[in-house]
Structure 1
Amino acid sequence: MANTPQSKKRARQNDARFQVNKMRRSRIRTFLRKVEEAITSGDQAAAIAALRAAQPELMRGVTKGVVHKNTAARKMSRLSARVKAIG
């Protein structure tokens, strides 16, 4: 448990940062899920559009420190390969 004023403030800051990061992760997952749904439906045009919308969100997660750079690159690579394979 936080005792000093500084540790209490850090605990508050950590909680606030956790909430922001949680929302960012959720938003990224939503965009990725839309790509997955478009791939499973077999509609390449919709999948390409969803992938183009998901890429900036994923890269923004990298910039904000929510997702590791290599993880984002791996996800984009695998998704784009699956979208390309539809046609």
Structure 2
Amino acid sequence: MLFGISGTELMVILVITLVLVGPDKLPDYARKAGRFIHSMRVRGQALSEQSNIDVHGLVRDSGINDIRKGLDDATQDVNRLLPPIR
């Protein structure tokens, strides 16, 4: 399935396009559609990579890793004290 379109629906779209555009212009329109889809994929991938970089930078800059390390150390201290109490 491409864009949520089944095989039958895709065939109907292709036949209608062939009738409207004509067989001589169909390859040109198919090429343009392919280029458009490719450019959208590239832009989407770049946007996804940029957002991942931004999120990792925010986490690093926020100091949350230092807070997590402090909480882990505190948890280990509490766990060391618990066995003698039990």
Q: State the TM-score bracket (shorter-chain normalisation).
A: 0.3 to 0.5
TM-score, normalized by length of structure 1? 0.37
The structure whose RCO (Cα within 8 Å, separation 6+) is larger is 1
